[in-house]
């Protein structure tokens, strides 16, 4: 595609796209191209920081309907041009980067709440909607999506669908794949299809689940029906400090395996407790900080909270009480604002991994030891974010305060850390990853993760997208090449 | 370069998405460049290579900002992205690179003469002198704020000097300012003259009314986002008998349709129209809801692009309540 940019074909294709969406809704300015050349992935951020030239999209197109999306994909097939769906652009894996140029399909114009069904407690929405706007609109109607991630204000619903995103309250209300009822999808060849209207059925494999997490490689999700929930009468929090992360993990896993239903549990390892919990919440303690919450009818919240606290008290602990738990909830997004978030010139990455309770500590130590032994310049911290009946997610992070000045050297070091740490995690039963997605960052590891099963994913991609126009080169799938 | 003084905001905003949902222009154009992150990335490129200041796309993006400061208000660390845009506008003007439309508008804004009339111990700067019977009236145009936000610092100072002279000659000790942008500009500019917003003055003067009208108050960018003044206009309206309901779905977005940029519609009428359309979409019952704004700019833009808006200023609301 970049060769086309300087030829008359550039204007030929631009005119075709403008005919579909209108002149006003196609951008080719330097301002717009810059904004769409960088997402929340460290590598393009570094590239910009070091003054290197980024790869921009050729066209940024804002469709208003599924039919317009369909027409755009047909044009892309005709000219064999890559199409990259873009929501909020806040993905951390490089999934929305236009690595081969092409058409950036910015979905934010499709941002309407189409209906709310108070009987079934569902809402049908266009997926380009910013999730904070969605939540505000649903709250005004008296409900909540209960999808409250730190990136709620940054990302679109489509972005969360693309990466199987999750929110702070996932332990009770589920991840995106638990929240979605059905999808409208434009396939790579331009057909507009709908998946079955309910997520529980015995009518063959579940197409909704196939598109969830496909990161724009199997088509463009344009509409979704998702669950909504009543606003709970009460939501309460409690925090404990344990001497070791292991003790805190035992407490957290016992809460989950006892089948209590917290809306959130979060456990910070000793280094993150000392560093981030102190910096953001002002709690200056040595040990592992564990916070959990319950919501619903107040009587049930109090009862479940009492039981959870009893479990914690069977281990060596310091009871930090409700205030230091509530403080975490009140400041839960603060961790992600500057200057609290890691930032340039630091190199940093979230080694997001999920595993069973039997394996999760082994995964933690495998990654931590790998980094400690091989990258002495890196700091390793971690917390356990999203908890299930069988295990939890490890939100491990490495930070290098002074990475190499040369951007190629810096990226080489960065990739080596990922390669070694993630492969160490996979050996111990870890899965990459729980909610950030694969994108460009982790595509090369997909074959190791899936083994022979990866061919099934590749075959699905080939059949659905014969010209390989949809987000090529992501999730380990074939690139567009020269 | 002025932007180099804002390095903390550049570094904070260039890769941060946390307030993007609040950019009024980004919410109607859907362009990445019309968000704080998008603008900070551009400014960072200019910082790295001054040659980028010549890029007309980049210059246009900087003037498209509505400067609402809703993003700054939201940010937990209050990084000043609006200040960053103002800094780059100054750099654009100082380099002689302002677009022709901006230069032409700046010239128009320079041609002002201020006059003081009436009797009283206070001096009122606004459109409803009937509410201030014991005050003199100063009139003549924008006191320099519009030029300041366009990046014309020296020209802004010159206009302000004319305004200042007229104020000092009035021998009044209190200046009551109605338009929030002017209030923001003037509040710290006098040594011995107290500058007060009209809502604060009217609230202290007291308004008692039997009116019981439901109304939606649209926050002013300059009162709320720049000066953290949420209370005075609300308390004034409530004391005047208005029962205030939350407009739209939240209290964070700016619905002041470009008030932060003072003369936004003069440069981008099509965007001002889109901002007004968003207000219409967000209203509960747009054809019947009574909307009250502290800014006569906001009122004029809403009415200009959709006469069906039932919108009045805070001062008009007070006058109406007094009449009842």
Whether A48 has its CB under 8 Å from any CB of chain B: the answer is yes
**Same domain assignment for residues A378 and A440:** yes
Pick from A31, A51, A89: CB nearest B57: A31
A287 within some domain: yes
Whether A427 has its CB under 8 Å from any CB of chain B: the answer is no
**Same domain assignment for residues A129 and A39:** no
The residue out of B150, B167, B202 marking a domain boundary is B202
**Same domain assignment for residues B137 and B194:** yes
Q: Which residue of B has its CA nearest to A64?
A: B30
Answer yes or no: is pLDDT of A2 > 50.
no
B300 within some domain: yes
Answer yes or no: is pLDDT of A4 > 70.
no
**Same domain assignment for residues A117 and A225:** yes
pLDDT tens, residue by residue, A303-323:
999 999 999 999 999 999 999
Mean pLDDT of chain B: 96
pLDDT, residue A3, reads 47
Closest CA to A115 of A188, A11, A224: A224
A247 within some domain: yes
Mean pLDDT of chain A: 96
pLDDT tens, residue by residue, A355-379:
999 999 999 999 999 999 999 999 9
Distance to chain A for B35, nearest Cα, Å: 9
**Same domain assignment for residues A357 and A430:** yes
Band of pLDDT at residue B188, cut at 50, 70 and 90? very high
* Buried-state track A445-473, b at ≥16 Cβ within 10 A, e below 16: bbeebeeeebeebbeebeebbebbbbbbb
Q: Report how many domains make up chain A.
A: 4
The residue out of A297, A315, A336 marking a domain boundary is A336
Whether A29 has its CB under 8 Å from any CB of chain B: the answer is yes
Percent of chain A as helix, strand, coil, to the nearest 5: 40, 25, 35
The residue out of B32, B63, B97 marking a domain boundary is B97
Whether A100 contacts A468, CB under 8 Å = no
A384 within some domain: yes
The residue out of A108, A133, A153 marking a domain boundary is A108
Q: Which residue of B has its CA nearest to A155?
A: B17
Q: Which residue of A has its CA nearest to B284?
A: A140
Query: Is the sign of the CA dihedral B199, B200, B201, B206 positive or negative?
Result: positive
Distance to chain A for B63, nearest Cα, Å: 12
Answer yes or no: is pLDDT of A58 > 50.
yes
B83 within some domain: yes
8 Å CB contact of B55 and A88: no
- Residues of chain A numbered 404-423 and touching chain B (CB < 8 Å): none
Domain, as residue range, for A8 = 4-108
Distance to chain B for A110, nearest Cα, Å: 10
Q: Is B143 helix (H, G, I), strand (E, B) or coil?
A: coil
Pick from A30, A32, A136: CB nearest B31: A32
φ, ψ for residue B86, nearest 5 deg: -60, -40
Mean pLDDT across A352-357: 96
Band of pLDDT at residue B198, cut at 50, 70 and 90? very high
pLDDT, residue A312, reads 98
Residues of A in contact with B55 (CB under 8 A): 30
A475 within some domain: no
Q: Report how many domains make up chain B.
A: 3
Residues 6+ apart with CB under 8 A from A3: none
The CA distance from A210 to A218, in Å, is 9
A127 within some domain: yes
φ, ψ for residue B66, nearest 5 deg: -85, -5
Q: Which residue of A has its CA nearest to B13?
A: A338
List, as one string, the DSSP characters of B257-299.
TTGGGSSHHHH-HHHHHHHHHHHHHHSSSTTT--EEES-HHHH
* Buried-state track A298-320, b at ≥16 Cβ within 10 A, e below 16: eeebeebbeebbebbeebebeeb
CA distances from A442 to A353, A397, A407 (A): 12, 15, 19
Which tokens sit at B55?
């890029």
Residues of B with CB under 8 A from a CB of A: 11-22, 30-33, 35, 37-38, 41-42, 44-45, 48-49, 55, 57-58, 60-61, 75-77, 79, 249-250
B102 within some domain: no
B226 within some domain: yes
Q: Is A317 helix (H, G, I), strand (E, B) or coil?
A: strand
Distance to chain A for B245, nearest Cα, Å: 12
The CA distance from A437 to A87, in Å, is 14
Q: Which residue of B has its CA nearest to A134?
A: B249
pLDDT, residue B207, reads 84
Tell how far CA A346 is from the center of its chain. Answer: 21
pLDDT, residue A5, reads 63
Residues 6+ apart with CB under 8 A from A34: A54, A56, B33, B38, B41, B42, B45
A409 within some domain: yes
B104 within some domain: no
List, as one string, the DSSP characters of B201-218.
HHHHH-------EEEEEE
Q: Which of B49, B249, B270, B273 to mutate against chain A (most A CBs within 10 Å)?
A: B249
Domain, as residue range, for B128 = 109-202
Q: Which residue of B has its CA nearest to A45?
A: B15
Beta-carbon contacts below 8 Å between A and B? 105
ipTM rounded to 2 decimals: 0.96
């Amino acid at each position: 595609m970049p060769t086309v940019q300087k030829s008359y074909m550039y204007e030929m294709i631009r005119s075709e796209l403008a005919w579909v969406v209108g002149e006003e809704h196609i951008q080719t300015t330097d301002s717009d191209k810059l904004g769409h050349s960088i997402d929340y992935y460290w590598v393009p951020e570094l590239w910009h920081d070091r003054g290197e030239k980024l790869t921009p999209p050729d066209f940024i197109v804002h469709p208003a309907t599924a039919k317009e999306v369909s027409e755009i994909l047909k044009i892309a097939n005709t000219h064999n041009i890559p199409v990259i769906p873009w929501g909020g652009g806040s993905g951390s894996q490089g999934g929305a980067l236009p690595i081969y140029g092409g058409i950036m399909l910015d979905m934010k114009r499709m941002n309407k709440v189409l209906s709310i069904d108070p009987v079934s407690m569902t809402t049908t929405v266009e997926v380009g909607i910013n999730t904070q706007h969605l939540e505000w609109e649903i709250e005004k109607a008296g409900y909540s999506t209960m999808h409250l991630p730190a990136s709620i204000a940054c990302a679109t619903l489509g972005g969360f669908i693309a990466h199987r995103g999750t929110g702070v309250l996932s332990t009770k209300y589920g991840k995106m794949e638990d929240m979605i009822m059905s999808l409208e999808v434009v396939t790579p060849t331009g057909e507009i299809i709908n998946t079955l209207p309910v997520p529980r059925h015995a009518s063959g494999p579940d197409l909704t689940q196939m598109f969830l997490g496909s990161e724009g490689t199997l088509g463009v999700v344009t509409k979704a029906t998702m669950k909504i929930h009543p606003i709970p009468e009460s939501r309460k929090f409690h925090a404990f400090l344990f001497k070791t992360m292991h003790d805190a993990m035992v407490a957290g896993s016992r809460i989950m395996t006892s089948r209590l239903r917290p809306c959130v549990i979060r456990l910070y390892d000793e280094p993150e407790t000392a560093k981030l919990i102190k910096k953001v919440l002002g709690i200056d303690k040595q040990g592992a900080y564990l916070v959990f919450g319950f919501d619903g009818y107040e009587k049930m919240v109090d009862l479940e909270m009492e039981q959870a606290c009893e479990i914690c008290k069977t281990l060596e602990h310091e009871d930090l009480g409700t205030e230091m738990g509530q403080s975490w909830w009140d400041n839960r997004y603060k961790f992600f604002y500057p200057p609290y978030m890691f930032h340039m010139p630091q190199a940093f990455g979230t080694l997001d991994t999920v595993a069973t309770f039997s394996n999760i500590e082994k995964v933690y130590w495998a990654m931590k030891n790998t980094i400690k032994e091989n990258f002495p310049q890196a700091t390793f911290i971690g917390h356990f974010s999203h908890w299930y009946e069988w295990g939890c997610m490890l939100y491990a992070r490495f930070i290098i305060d002074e990475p190499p000045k040369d951007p190629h050297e810096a990226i080489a070091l960065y990739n080596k850390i990922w390669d070694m740490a993630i492969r160490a995690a996979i050996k111990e039963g870890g899965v990459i990853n729980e909610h950030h997605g694969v994108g460009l960052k982790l595509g090369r590891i997909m074959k190791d993760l899936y083994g022979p099963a990866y061919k099934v994913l590749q075959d699905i991609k080939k059949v659905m997208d014969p010209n390989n126009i949809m987000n090529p080169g992501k999730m380990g799938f074939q690139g567009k090449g020269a | 370069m002025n932007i180099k003084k804002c390095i903390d905001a550049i570094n904070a905003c260039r890769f941060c998405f946390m307030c993007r949902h609040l950019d009024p222009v980004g919410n109607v154009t859907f362009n990445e460049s019309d968000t704080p992150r998008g603008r900070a990335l551009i400014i960072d490129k200019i910082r790295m290579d001054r040659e980028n200041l010549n890029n007309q796309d980049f210059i246009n993006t900087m003037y498209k900002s509505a400067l609402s400061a809703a993003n700054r208000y939201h940010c937990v660390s209050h990084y000043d992205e609006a200040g960053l845009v103002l800094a780059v506008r100054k750099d654009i003007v100082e380099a002689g690179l302002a677009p022709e439309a901006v230069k032409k508008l700046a010239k128009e804004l320079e041609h002002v003469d201020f006059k003081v009339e009436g009797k009283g111990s206070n001096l009122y700067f606004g459109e409803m002198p009937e509410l201030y019977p014991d005050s003199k009236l100063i009139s003549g145009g924008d006191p320099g704020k519009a030029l300041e936000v366009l990046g014309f610092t020296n020209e802004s100072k010159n206009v302000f000097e004319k305004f200042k002279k007229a104020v000092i000659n009035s021998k009044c000790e209190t200046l009551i300012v109605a338009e929030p942008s002017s209030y923001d500009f003037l509040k710290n500019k006098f040594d011995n003259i107290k500058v007060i917003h009209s809502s604060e003055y009217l609230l202290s003067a007291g308004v008692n009314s039997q009116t019981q009208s439901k109304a939606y108050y649209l926050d002013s960018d300059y009162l709320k986002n720049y000066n953290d003044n949420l209370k005075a206009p609300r308390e004034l309206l409530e004391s005047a008998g208005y029962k205030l309901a939350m407009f739209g779905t939240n209290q964070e977005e700016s619905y002041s349709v470009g008030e932060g940029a003072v003369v936004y519609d003069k440069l981008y009428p099509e965007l001002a129209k889109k901002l007004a359309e968003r207000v219409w979409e967000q209203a509960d019952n747009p054809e019947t809801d009574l909307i009250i704004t502290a800014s006569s700019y906001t009122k004029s833009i809403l009415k200009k692009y959709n006469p069906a808006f039932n919108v009045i200023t805070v001062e008009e609301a007070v006058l109406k309540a007094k009449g009842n």
